[in-house]
Amino acid sequence: MTRKLYILNGSNLNMLGAREPHIYGTTTLKDIEQNCLALAEDLKFDCAFRQTNSESQLIEWIQEAFLQDAALIINPAGFSFGRIPVLDAVKLIRRTVVELHITNIHRRSEEYRHSTISVAATAVICGAGANGYLLAIRAVDDLWGGER
């Protein structure tokens, strides 16, 4: 059986490395993707890594992950806050869901503190920087088969 993993990234994450490096660091999304794909391959995952600035595209990919019976790592970025359609799509996922944020959203201003996606997540990783992606992949690997 092939273990499938989708790593989906929301709005503005394509600008990592250039956008507010004092907050998000200088690592680019391409750097993160390369590291994720290498670790996923080592752990025997068939991995799709994607980014979009479109909420509808993100929902389509989450639904695709559901149809593929994949685990999901999602950095919803701005789609975290009050985006019920994204939450409803995430609720479809039967396997592990790890919500990921590069920064510690709980230390940020009020509008960044309460992710609607968290209620559907198996685990939430925030504040570990770009390394959070690798932690999330390892969490999915550890939790595979023992999903909710």
Q: Tell me, what's the pLDDT at 95?
A: 97
> Could you tell me the residue range of the domain that residue 7 belongs to?
3-143
Query: What is the band of 35 on the pLDDT scale with cuts at 50, 70, 90?
Result: very high
| CATH number of the CATH domain containing 129 | 3.40.50.9100
Domain membership of residue 62 (yes or no) is yes
Of 101, 112, 114, 133, which residue is the catalytic one? 101
42 annotated as belonging to a binding site for a ligand: no
Give the active site residue among 6, 24, 112, 133. 24
Q: Are residues 73 and 137 in contact, defined by beta-carbon separation less than 8 angstroms?
A: yes
Predicted confidence (pLDDT) per residue in 71-86, tens digit: 999 999 888 877 799 9
Q: Tell me if 148 is assigned to some domain.
A: no
83 or 124, higher pLDDT? 124
- For 66-91, b/e burial (b = at least 16 CB within 10 A) is beeebbbbbbbbebbeebeebbebbe
Residue 67 falls inside a structural domain = yes
75 annotated as ligand-binding: yes
The larger pLDDT score, comparing residue 132 to residue 112, is at: 132
Provide the token pair at 134.
């690798």
Q: What share of the chain is helix, strand, coil (3-state, %, to 5)?
A: 45, 20, 35
Q: Is the pLDDT of residue 108 over 80?
A: no
Would residue 114 show up in a list of annotated catalytic residues for this protein? no
The answer to whether position 113 is within a domain reads yes
pLDDT at 148 over 50: no
What pLDDT digit, counting tens, does each position of 40-95 carry? 999 999 999 999 999 999 999 999 999 999 999 999 988 887 779 999 999 999 99
Beta bridge partners of 71: 5
pLDDT above 70 covers a percentage of the chain that reads 93
- Is 102 annotated as contributing to ligand binding? yes
Query: With 70 as the cut, is the pLDDT of residue 146 above it?
Result: no
Rounding to the nearest 10 degrees, give the CA dihedral for residues 145, 119, 67, 75.
-100
Give the mean model confidence (pLDDT) for residues 22-30.
Answer: 87
104 is in an annotated binding site: no
> Is 101 a known active-site residue?
yes
Report the Cα 90 to chain-centroid distance in Å.
11
Domain count, the chain: 1
**pLDDT, the chain, mean:** 91
The answer as to whether 81 is a domain residue is yes
